């Protein structure tokens, strides 16, 4: 059985954009279907999510959150690491913390110059 931390699902902003109530309902129903139907419905759900992603990029809606936006300033590497950290396992979290510390030291050295 998976550890409690592995079962916790923390959707990202991107996940929230992809979520549609009817697809979430179908996902909730999957365990109650025969395996052959689970496979087919799972594939259909993922294709729907892929189509939604493509559509949002074409409409420019993902640019509003900074995904794929050429005109928005890039976040710092430290901000990116902090955004990734909640989704990391214990080993990855250690590496992220090491990179965070290195980034903080680099920033401190740059402000002293």
Q: What is the pLDDT of residues 27-57, one digit of tens each?
A: 999 999 999 999 999 999 999 999 988 888 8
Is residue 76 predicted with pLDDT exceeding 60? yes
Q: Rounded distance, CA 98 to CA 26, Å?
A: 40
**Where exactly are the structural domains of the chain?**
1-72, 74-113
Dihedral sign for Cα 39, 3, 99, 75, please.
positive
The structure's pTM equals: 0.62
Q: Which residues contact 71 (CB under 8 A, 6 or more apart)?
A: 63
């Amino acid at each position: 059985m998976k550890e409690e931390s592995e079962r916790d699902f923390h959707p990202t902003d991107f996940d929230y954009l992809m979520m549609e109530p009817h697809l979430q309902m179908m996902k909730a129903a999957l365990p109650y279907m025969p395996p052959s139907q689970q496979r087919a419905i799972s594939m259909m759900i993922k294709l729907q999510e892929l189509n939604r992603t493509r559509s949002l990029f074409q409409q420019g809606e993902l640019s509003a959150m900074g995904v794929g936006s050429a005109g928005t300033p890039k976040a710092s590497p430290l901000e990116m690491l902090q955004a990734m950290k909640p989704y990391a396992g214990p080993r990855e979290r250690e590496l992220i913390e090491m990179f965070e510390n290195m980034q903080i030291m680099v920033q401190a050295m740059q402000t002293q110059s």
